[in-house]
């Protein structure tokens, strides 16, 4: 079966600095993959390559079997046009560390914007779908609130609804709870967990080790732009092979 | 006696005054509308454009904003005829004010756009919007709200700057007033009258601006 996400020999540079040095990994349908590692190991950059918020310089990213961002024309690697890239981006949904809701719109309009303007859905139908997902993340009662009237945890749950309502093939979470007050982390993790249990394919960059261990099917440990170790969470957390992962786990809180 | 004379003169010159006010209003309106459209284009170029777009836009803004409007008006009038572009005084004046307005509007827009977080652009891209969609639905509505008060000030400045067109012979309100005064010598009275008319035009612009501001401040949907 075609994996939902396939990354082959991915390289990425910021100027002279190579931050991704040949990444290979796959995500199967319904799989939940957590990417862990120290700050600066390249995990967020890797995630952002999956929906082309970052350009990459070598290798392939395939979403649902389709090569993202670049194609070969007469042997040359060519960037795909912006309109086409926009369509490809909509195959993934992303949740950001800083929520990034549109502040001038209600929670409901944050969710319907992509449905009406990208999917071309009629507004009544978009509202119905948005209500369904806002209800699902427990935010239906506050659908008419602006982001400034919501707590961080509530904003992040709206952001999750905004991304998932577009029915992406895979959801990408970029440190979705890092910017939250400690007492708000639980409600967001609970939302993510329940979506995972329903079979949503997910890639999470996270510092929540306990959550990564409990929810993931696979854990990817990154170190200096490479995948140092990957496998089922039981093995990685209980019997890490590499000394670097052993050291990393020692310094991480559970 | 004096008062009667003044009123008689106003009535006698009412057509000229109305015509002058109409010219002032028309040239300002053209400059504000065309300048705003051009300013938005240049503002986008200078904020989001790549180097080949950003550089000329930056240069345009700096040169036009660094030039006195009077110089701009004279230059447009005399240079345009020198290069074979046959503009009459009104057209040249309207063009000069439009260029001037555009440089201000683009700077106002750039400031407003840069105050918006980059994260919103990324969120827009992540749901599959193209840059056009992101600008139209996410950035522009917010920038408009931030930029409106300064934009109104710029619009009012255009009306005041239109007085400079009198030097190239556009019979706008100020030149008309001067012509009337040269016949009846009622300096103070007619300059005061012109001042009142300018004030009314500017006051009307500010009211329209406030009205738009109130409309923009209403939530997209009713907030609870």
Measuring CA to CA, which residue among A230, A103, A226 is closest to residue B137? Answer: A103
Has residue B184 been placed in a domain? Answer: no
Q: What is the pLDDT of residue B4?
A: 87
Structure confidence at residue A192 as a pLDDT band (50, 70, 90): very high
Mean pLDDT on B143-150: 92
Mean of per-residue pLDDT scores for chain B? 91
Contact check, Cβ <8 Å, B126/A104: no
Q: What is the pLDDT of residues B14-70, one digit of tens each?
A: 999 999 999 999 999 999 999 999 999 999 999 998 899 999 999 999 999 999 999
Q: What is the pLDDT of residue B77?
A: 93
- DSSP annotation of A168: -
Has residue B53 been placed in a domain? Answer: yes
Which residue of A52, A114, A149 is the best one to mutate when testing the B interface, meaning the one whose CB has the most B CBs within 10 A?
Answer: A114
Q: Are A24 and A9 in contact (CB under 8 A)?
A: yes
Q: Which of B126, B220, B223 sits opposite A89 (nearest CB)?
A: B126
Mean pLDDT on B75-93: 90
Q: What is the pLDDT of residues A144-163, one digit of tens each?
A: 999 999 999 999 999 999 99
Q: Which of A90, A102, A145 sits opposite B223 (nearest CB)?
A: A145
Has residue B44 been placed in a domain? Answer: yes
Token pair 């009667």 in the structure block, residue: B4
Separation between Cα atoms, residue B34 and residue A61, nearest integer Å: 46
For strand A226-231 and strand A32-37, is the pairing parallel, antiparallel, or unpaired?
unpaired
Separation between Cα atoms, residue A100 and residue A103, nearest integer Å: 8
Separation between Cα atoms, residue B177 and residue B187, nearest integer Å: 9
B176: pLDDT strictly greater than 60: yes
Has residue B190 been placed in a domain? Answer: no
Q: What is the pLDDT of residue A1?
A: 74
Q: What is the pLDDT of residue B223?
A: 40
The residues near A226 (Cβ < 8 Å, ≥ 6 apart) are A21, A22, A23
Mean pLDDT on A14-21: 94
Has residue B11 been placed in a domain? Answer: no
Has residue B111 been placed in a domain? Answer: yes
Q: How many CA atoms lie within 13 A of B224 on its CB side?
A: 12
B126: pLDDT strictly greater than 70: yes
Measuring CA to CA, which residue among A248, A150, A147 is closest to residue A207? Answer: A248
What is the number of domains present in chain B? 1
A227: pLDDT strictly greater than 90: yes
Structure confidence at residue A27 as a pLDDT band (50, 70, 90): very high
Q: What is the pLDDT of residue B181?
A: 93
Q: Which of A8-17, A164-173, A215-224, A234-243 has the lowest mean pLDDT?
A: A234-243
Range of the domain at B204: 22-164+197-223
A46: pLDDT strictly greater than 90: yes
Q: Are A11 and A62 in contact (CB under 8 A)?
A: no
What does pTM read for this prediction? 0.87
CA dihedral in degrees (B144, B146, B148, B153; nearest 10)?
Answer: -140
Q: Which residues of A81-97 are buried (b: 16+ CB within 10 A; e: fewer)?
A: eeeebbebbbbbbbbbb
A194: pLDDT strictly greater than 90: yes
Mean pLDDT on B128-137: 95
Interface of B with A (CB under 8 A): 117, 119-120, 122-131, 133, 137-138, 141-142, 145, 219-224
Q: What is the pLDDT of residue B224?
A: 37
The residues near B189 (Cβ < 8 Å, ≥ 6 apart) are B6
Has residue B77 been placed in a domain? Answer: yes
DSSP-based three-state secondary structure for B95: helix
Structure confidence at residue B138 as a pLDDT band (50, 70, 90): very high
CATH number for the domain including B95?
1.10.3720.10
Q: What is the pLDDT of residues A73-131, one digit of tens each?
A: 888 999 999 999 999 999 999 999 999 999 999 999 999 999 999 999 999 999 999 99
- What burial class does residue B145 get, using C-beta atoms within 10 Å of its C-beta: 0-12 exposed, 13-18 middle, 19+ buried? middle
Contact check, Cβ <8 Å, A102/B120: yes
How is residue A241 written in tokens?
């092979």
| Strands of A32-37's sheet in order across | A92-95, A170-174, A202-205, A32-37, A218-223, A226-231
Q: Looking only at Cα atoms, what is the longest distance across chain A?
A: 56
Query: Which residue in chain B has the smallest CA separation from A144?
Result: B223
A166: pLDDT strictly greater than 60: yes
Mean pLDDT on A14-18: 92
B222: pLDDT strictly greater than 70: no
B188: pLDDT strictly greater than 80: yes
Q: Are A139 and A82 in contact (CB under 8 A)?
A: no
Separation between Cα atoms, residue B69 and residue B168, nearest integer Å: 13
Q: What is the pLDDT of residue B218?
A: 66
Q: What is the pLDDT of residue B84?
A: 82
A253: pLDDT strictly greater than 80: no
The residues near A42 (Cβ < 8 Å, ≥ 6 apart) are A12, A19, A20, A23, A222, A224, A225
Mean of per-residue pLDDT scores for chain A? 94
Has residue B63 been placed in a domain? Answer: yes
């Amino acid at each position: 079966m075609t994996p939902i996400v396939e990354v082959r020999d991915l390289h990425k540079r910021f100027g002279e600095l190579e931050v991704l040095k040949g990444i290979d990994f796959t995500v199967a349908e319904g799989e939940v993959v957590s990417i862990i590692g120290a700050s600066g190991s390249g995990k967020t950059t890797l995630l952002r390559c999956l929906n082309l918020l970052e350009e990459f310089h070598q290798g392939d990213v395939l979403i649902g079997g389709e090569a993202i961002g670049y194609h070969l024309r007469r042997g040359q690697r060519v960037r795909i046009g912006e309109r086409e890239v926009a369509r490809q981006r909509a195959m993934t949904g992303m949740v950001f560390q800083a929520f990034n809701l549109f502040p001038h719109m209600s929670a409901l309009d944050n969710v319907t914007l992509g449905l009406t303007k990208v999917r071309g859905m009629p507004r009544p139908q978009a509202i119905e779908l948005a209500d369904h997902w806002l209800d699902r993340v427990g935010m239906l009662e506050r659908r008419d609130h602006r982001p400034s009237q919501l707590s961080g945890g509530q904003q992040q749950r709206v952001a999750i609804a905004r991304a998932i309502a577009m029915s992406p093939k895979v959801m990408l979470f970029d440190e979705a709870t890092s910017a939250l007050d400690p007492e708000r982390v639980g409600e967001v993790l609970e939302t993510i967990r329940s979506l995972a249990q329903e079979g949503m394919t997910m890639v999470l960059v996270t510092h929540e080790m306990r959550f990564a261990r409990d929810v993931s099917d696979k854990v990817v440990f990154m170190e200096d732009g490479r995948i140092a170790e990957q496998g089922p969470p039981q093995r990685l957390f209980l019997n890490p092979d590499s000394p670097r992962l052993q050291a990393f786990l020692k310094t991480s809180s559970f | 006696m004096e008062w009667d004379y003044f009123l008689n003169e106003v009535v006698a010159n009412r057509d000229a005054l109305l015509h002058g006010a109409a010219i002032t209003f028309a040239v300002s309106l053209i400059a504000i509308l065309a300048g705003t459209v051009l300013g938005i284009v240049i503002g986008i170029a200078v904020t989001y454009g790549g180097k080949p777009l950003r550089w000329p836009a930056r240069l345009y803004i700096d040169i036009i904003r660094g030039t006195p409007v009077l110089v701009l008006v004279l230059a447009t009038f005399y240079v345009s005829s020198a290069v074979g572009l046959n503009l009459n005084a009104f057209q040249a004046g309207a063009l000069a004010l439009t260029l001037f307005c555009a440089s201000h509007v683009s700077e106002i827009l750039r400031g407003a756009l840069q105050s918006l977080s980059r994260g919103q652009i990324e969120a827009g891209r992540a749901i599959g919007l193209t840059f056009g969609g992101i600008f139209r639905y996410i950035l522009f509505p917010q920038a408009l709200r931030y930029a409106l008060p300064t934009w109104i000030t710029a619009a009012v400045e255009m009306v005041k700057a239109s007085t400079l067109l009198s030097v190239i012979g556009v019979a706008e309100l100020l030149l008309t007033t001067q012509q009337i005064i040269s016949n009846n010598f009622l300096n103070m009275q007619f300059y005061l009258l012109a001042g009142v008319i300018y004030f009314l035009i500017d006051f009307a612009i500010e009211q329209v601006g406030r009205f738009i501001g109130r409309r923009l401040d209403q939530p997209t949907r009713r907030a609870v």
